[in-house]
Amino acid sequence: MEGVDMSLSGIRKGLKKRGFNVKRKIKTNFVSKDNKAERYAWAKKYRNYTLIDWRQWVISDETRINMWGTDGISFYWSDGDNTLLPHQMEPHHGFSVDTIMNWRARSPDLNPIEHVWYLLKRHPNAFPTRPTTKEELEQSIATEWYKLTKKGCLKYIDSMPERTKAIIKSKGGPTKY
């Protein structure tokens, strides 16, 4: 259709009319054979940790927030039931005050802070107008940061026993987390 101007919403409507549906991409981490064995061994080592044990750790990580949106939620158009599985391979580490836990690299499903980063990144993009300067972005991040609660963050740490069980059940493979 040469010479026809179409809006993004018009393209979406046209695709939908022709039987395509928008779907959210399912995120799962790619787990290599070696990493799978390491994750399985790690989960077995910490399988008897209680909530009290998990809560004694300080979990640290870094993230980035982009001026023009997140790297997070992605959508795609599909004319069938095919599932896309993108690879995520970023190292993550946790530490305690006196000792360092051997945290599994390339295992975002074992890092509860990933959920906190998701919340922090998602909310600034929900404002009616997006930040246009570094200062505005910093302010919107600070606003969202102070909305986070201890209770809200603890639920992710408190999920560690279940995460560990899920890794053991999958023999080190990907999990729903």
**What sections of the chain are H helices per DSSP?**
8-17, 33-45, 51-55, 113-122, 134-145, 150-157, 160-169
Let me know if residue 174 belongs to a domain: no
Supply the mean pLDDT for the chain: 75
Which strand (E) or helix (H) includes residue 134?
Answer: helix 134-145
Give the span between the Cα atoms of 123 and 146, in whole angstroms: 12
Q: What is the CATH number of the domain that holds 116?
A: 3.30.420.10
pLDDT at 2 over 60: yes
Per-residue confidence at 177, pLDDT binned at 50, 70, 90?
confident
Residue written as token pair 């790619």: 30
What domain range includes position 70?
Answer: 8-169
For the question of whether the overall pTM of this predicted structure is more than 0.85, the answer is: no
Let me know if residue 72 belongs to a domain: yes
Number of structural domains (the chain) is 1
Amino acid code (one letter) for 17: K
Per-residue confidence at 164, pLDDT binned at 50, 70, 90?
very high
